Structure 1
Amino acid sequence: MIRRMLRGMIRASHPGPAAAVTLVTVVLAIGTGVEPMRVVLVGAAMLAGQLSIGWSNDWIDADRDTAVARSDKPIASGLVTRSAVRAAAIAAAAIAIPLSLLLGPLAAVVNIVGIASGWSYNAWLKRTLASGVPYLVTFGTLPLFVTLSLSEPRPSTWWAIAVGALLGFGAHFANVLPDLADDARTGVRGLPHALGRGASSVIAFASLALASIVACLGIAAASPALVVVAVIGLVAGVALAVAGIVLALTRPPTRLLFQLIIASAVVDVILLAVAGPAIVAR
């Protein structure tokens, strides 16, 4: 019984995205020069916030998931109760706040804004044409959270924030694509639903390609020694995006499309990680 509940709680937390975002944050913090103990706090605060967002998603969507018989959803399949997931979401958010405050008030405010943005998507904005805004905010503030976590807090560069925001916007469309049919059955109609599968796929790739371009230009300007790496990343990111757009416009949706979106996002994340201290505003 306990093992079943734990399995349900883990699945309800959206462990893949939570782990991925936390890993990106930690890698970025290390590359930026955040002190080791503070890197641990950065990772813990980000993980708590991401778990809170994941659990709130399944808690808030429980009725919708049950209505469409989502067997992959722990609450709908009976693995765990809605009240348990709700309690976990609130507890994780409560834990994220003091962890963030240990990094300083500025870093705390930025991380709390990111968490609140994620909750706003789950509770309301996912059903509106402004569904992409929380992704812009949550991912766009990620580099800022990292640089403000330095022992001497500094803002991040405009281009690092822009890359994060574009990554988030692309991730929004990529995340929604597999659920368009189920969402339509339960009245969820965000921006990707209004635009349709084809346009949403193109926008996802275009956002990630633009992120590669902005990252390349930012890295080249801030650290000329990394120009070659930046250009390689740019070529890879744009090539993947072009291939994905052609695929989206000429063929029915396949798993390859989603894999290309993930690959494009990984290129952009690597560019940010390679930039390291260059993302700190001077």
Structure 2
Amino acid sequence: MARRQTPADAVLVTSRIRALVACSHPGPTVVVTVLAGLLAIAAGIGVDRVALTVAAVLLGQLSVGWSNDAIDAERDIAIGRRDKPIAAGAISRRVVAAAAGVALSLAVVVSAVIGWQFCVAHVIALASAWAYNAWLKFTAASVIPFAVSFGILPSLATLAGPVPMMAPWWQSAAGALLGIAVHLTNVLPDLADDEATGVRGLGHRLGATPSAVAAFAAVVGGTVVVFVGSVGTTPIVVALVASVSVVACAIAGLIRALRTPDRMVFRLVMVAGLILAAQLVVTAFAA
């Protein structure tokens, strides 16, 4: 006879679901998925294809987040990362690794349903992200997966259409520069912990201040590329407001980074990056 579920069982299941969600890196997962969805809507590919694109990207991002925490579990436990569910004992590494594998498989299946061109591009982006989690984060080439995956992101929207095509060069270039900024920004809060467990990516080799400077330079480069590439399609006022906002954040952040690098520098880079992402979406709608 099957045992009846008790309130304690329900609480345990709920806590494990919450831990699994936390392991997916929900913030970046949601941001990338929403960005992909907005770009797909801007591409005018139809509601059904937008939904499939969002599903494929969401599953892919879940696989990336879960694989990251599963691969990093031993390091997180070693340095006592209580903010990490596996290290805190809230969920097992095996469960998170299994979830990553299932999400990856489903992402590939949904991508194949959309079309082979989309599937190839998405698989390359996911392979790049998984390679970062497994190995490249320890090397000076750690920035490459972010440039590759974010550079491909705009094309996922256009490749999902009834007539698949690559995104304009300037969207891909801006995406790659945004990815570089995201990577160099992400490492800023965890430099000490990462160094303690042997992670020596590009940001760690450069140091906090040079990484912040490079991140701001990448964002400014991205907004310039979008401004130039979208000339004639985007209202000049919109383009100028976005570009000036990014440059203003960059100047404020650079001044602070050169004086006293702190979490405010991290926040300013993130704000500049979000403005660039918004600029990319707006110009995609206008194109």
**Same fold per TM (> 0.5)?**
yes
2-structure distance, mates of 1:167, 1:276: 16
Match of 1:154 among 158, 165, 175: 165
Residue matched to 2:128: 117
The answer to whether structure 1 residue 268 and structure 2 residue 276 are counterparts is yes
Deviations 1:245-280, CA, capped at 9 Å, x for gaps = 111001241x3212211110111111111112566x
Number of equivalent positions: 276
Gap regions ≥5 residues in structure 1: none
Deviations 1:132-184, CA, capped at 9 Å, x for gaps = 00000110000011111111112111110000000000000111111100011
Residue matched to 1:215: 226
TM-score in terms of structure 1 length: 0.96
2-structure distance, mates of 1:258, 1:30: 30
Match of 1:256 among 251, 257, 264: 264
Describe how 1:102-251 pairs up with structure 2 within 5 A.
102-221=113-232, 223=233, 225-251=234-260
Q: Residues 219 and 227 of structure 1 are in contact (CA less than 8 Å); yes or no, is this contact kept in structure 2?
A: no
Match of 1:62 among 54, 73, 77: 73
Q: Residues 188 and 208 of structure 2 are in contact (CA less than 8 Å); yes or no, is this contact kept in structure 1?
A: yes
Shift of 1:61: 0.3
1-structure distance, mates of 2:155, 2:174: 12
CA RMSD of aligned residues (A): 1.1
Q: Residues 33 and 276 of structure 1 are in contact (CA less than 8 Å); yes or no, is this contact kept in structure 2?
A: no
State percent identity of aligned pairs.
45
2-structure distance, mates of 1:59, 1:43: 24
Letter of the 1:229 partner, please give it. Answer: V
Residue matched to 2:6: none
Which has more radius of gyration? 2
Residue matched to 2:8: none
The answer to whether structure 1 residue 100 and structure 2 residue 111 are counterparts is yes
